[in-house]
């Protein structure tokens, strides 16, 4: 059955499971690379398959502006358009409207804004977000929400109320069906009572999955973990939980331990384009002189095309020479690093030794770089 969520094993709050979708099974916990404009930047879909990506995200805001969701539908939907045959998720467009666009008007009906591309005027409402996401055709779609600064109580309170009203309209416009599952988004910032209020209401709508929204947008890491800690028990245990926009290796470890099943973030590909690589010791800037004649791979433990074939010396050269191949190789590696991290945590949950893994990971990851 589509969208059935099987929990195979739990350890503490952490869960290892399988989320079934019309385009394949997603082993959880899972990290989803982001294909903002219908491409994971610099990574061909066959390479995503090779590095065992099982869920790819795309952005409603961007695709609505360019090339337009009607065109994507005409071309057979996102899976067909970008030739990614596996599970996909689209966000609602809300986050980008609030962070990228110039907002003209926001009220209970929806948001009117100007495109960051050409200044053209657009409008997003819960109903329109559902229509666009239906056109795009991802397996998992998200309710249109308002994502505020998580530490301003008055603003967060209003956002919780509006998000609840919008969630009802999303659900009425697009009840989950066999092709697309609509996930709800809990708001409430760093305030426990507001999270409880948001969750209590959204739980009554019985979404097939829940996102914890409005985190990783300005609060401290400690605040984020605290908010996750008190939000997790508010969510139905048998539904997948999605922490939006989180992808730092240490955040993944800590959040899996707090019961999160699904993550997405642009960080692996963005860092790659800036010449930085994830390693078990922390982030490494491949531009550094120390790599000049280093014959070692970026990460000797990694099984990706980059690490199996190329030296740090060569990657440094590519990064310094601003060669596209550098962005390609580091993007593949950085995504694979996070996916291997998730695979290791899933295996550890099943084997009952998650804490040993995350303790070891966090100790190595933090100690060497010192900034995390």
Residue 132 to residues 61, 172, 264, 361: CA-CA distances in angstroms? 9, 15, 20, 40
Closer residue to a second copy, CB minimum distance, 20 or 320: 320
Smallest separation, CB 50 to a second copy (Å): 11
Closer residue to a second copy, CB minimum distance, 41 or 336: 41
Candidate list 91, 139, 145, 261, residue with the active-site label: 91
* 129 vs 180: CA distance, rounded Å: 14
Dihedral class, residue 48 (left if φ above 0, else alpha if ψ from -120 to 50, else beta): alpha
HSE-up of 28 (CA within 13 Å, CB side)? 34
Q: Could you say which of 104, 177, 220, 292 contacts a second copy (CB under 8 A)?
A: 292
Strand pairing class (5-11; 140-142)? unpaired
Burial 283-299 (b: 16+ CB within 10 A, else e): bbebeeeebeebeebbb
Among the listed ranges 25-33, 244-252, 313-321, 334-342, the one in contact with a second copy (CB under 8 A) is 313-321
Q: How is residue 175 written in tokens?
A: 């009840």
Q: Are 266 and 34 in contact (CB under 8 A)?
A: yes
Q: Are 20 and 4 in contact (CB under 8 A)?
A: yes
Closer residue to a second copy, CB minimum distance, 62 or 239: 62
Q: How is residue 62 written in tokens?
A: 């961007």
Among the listed ranges 92-100, 241-249, 302-310, 339-347, the one in contact with a second copy (CB under 8 A) is 302-310
Smallest separation, CB 314 to a second copy (Å): 6
Q: How is residue 217 written in tokens?
A: 């947008």
Smallest separation, CB 136 to a second copy (Å): 13
- Which among 225, 211, 334 has a CA at the least distance from the CA of 270? 334
Smallest separation, CB 24 to a second copy (Å): 18
Contacts with a second copy in 314-353 (CB under 8 A)?
A: 314, 316-318, 320-321, 323-325, 327-329
| Known catalytic membership, residue 261 | no
Contacts with a second copy in 12-71 (CB under 8 A)?
A: 37-39, 41-46, 66-67, 71
| Known catalytic membership, residue 193 | no
Q: Are 213 and 177 in contact (CB under 8 A)?
A: no
DSSP string, 41-88: TT--HHHHHHTT---EEE-HHHHHHTT-HHHHHHTT-HHHHHT--S-E
Smallest separation, CB 98 to a second copy (Å): 22
290 binds a second copy (CB under 8 A): no
Q: Could you say which of 74, 206, 303, 363 contacts a second copy (CB under 8 A)?
A: 74
Closer residue to a second copy, CB minimum distance, 259 or 268: 268
Candidate list 47, 139, 261, 264, residue with the active-site label: 264
Smallest separation, CB 23 to a second copy (Å): 17
120 binds a second copy (CB under 8 A): no
Among the listed ranges 81-89, 244-252, 274-282, 340-348, the one in contact with a second copy (CB under 8 A) is 81-89
Strand pairing class (181-186; 140-142)? parallel
- Which among 201, 178, 171 has a CA at the least distance from the CA of 92? 171
Smallest separation, CB 236 to a second copy (Å): 38
| 113 strand-pairing partners | 103, 122
Q: Could you say which of 2, 10, 226, 311 contacts a second copy (CB under 8 A)?
A: 311
Number of residues near a second copy (by CB under 8 A) = 37
Residue ranges in contact with a second copy by CB under 8 A: 37-39, 41-46, 66-67, 71, 74-75, 81-83, 292-293, 295, 305, 309-311, 313-314, 316-318, 320-321, 323-325, 327-329
Catalytic residues: 91, 264
């Amino acid at each position: 059955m589509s969208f059935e969520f099987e929990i195979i094993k739990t350890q503490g709050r952490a869960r290892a499971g399988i989320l079934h979708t019309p385009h394949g099974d997603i082993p959880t916990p899972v990290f989803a690379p982001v294909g903002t404009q219908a491409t994971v930047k610099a990574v061909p879909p066959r390479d995503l398959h090779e590095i065992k990506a099982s869920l790819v995200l795309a952005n409603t805001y961007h695709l609505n502006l360019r090339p337009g969701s009607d065109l994507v539908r005409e071309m057979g939907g996102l899976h067909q358009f970008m030739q990614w045959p596996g599970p996909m998720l689209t966000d609602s467009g809300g986050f980008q409207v609030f962070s990228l666009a110039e907002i003209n008007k926001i009220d209970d009906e929806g948001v009117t804004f100007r495109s960051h591309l050409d200044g053209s005027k657009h409008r997003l409402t819960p109903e329109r977000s559902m229509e666009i996401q239906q056109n795009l055709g991802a397996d998992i779609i998200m309710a249109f929400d308002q994502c505020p600064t998580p530490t301003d109580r008055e603003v967060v309170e209003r956002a919780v109320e509006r998000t609840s009203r919008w969630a009802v309209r999303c659900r009425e416009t697009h009840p989950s069906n066999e092709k697309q599952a609509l996930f709800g988004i809990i708001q409430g910032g760093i305030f426990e009572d507001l999270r409880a209020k948001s969750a209590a209401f959204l739980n009554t709508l019985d979404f097939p999955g829940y996102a914890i929204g409005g985190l990783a947008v300005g609060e401290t890491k400690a605040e984020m973990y605290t908010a996750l800690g008190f939000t997790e028990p508010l969510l139905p245990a048998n539904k997948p939980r999605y922490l939006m926009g989180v992808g730092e290796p240490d955040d993944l470890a800590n959040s899996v331990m707090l019961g999160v099943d699904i993550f997405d973030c642009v960080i692996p590909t963005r860092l790659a384009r800036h010449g930085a690589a994830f390693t078990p010791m922390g982030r490494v800037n491949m531009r550094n002189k120390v790599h000049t004649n280093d014959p070692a791979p970026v990460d000797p433990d990694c099984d990706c095309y980059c690490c199996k074939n190329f030296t740090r010396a060569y990657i440094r050269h590519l990064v310094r020479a601003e060669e596209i191949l550098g962005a390609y190789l580091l993007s593949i590696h950085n995504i694979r690093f996070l996916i291997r991290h998730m695979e290791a945590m899933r295996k550890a949950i099943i084997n009952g030794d998650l804490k040993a893994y995350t303790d070891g990971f966090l100790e190595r990851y933090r100690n060497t770089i010192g900034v995390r």
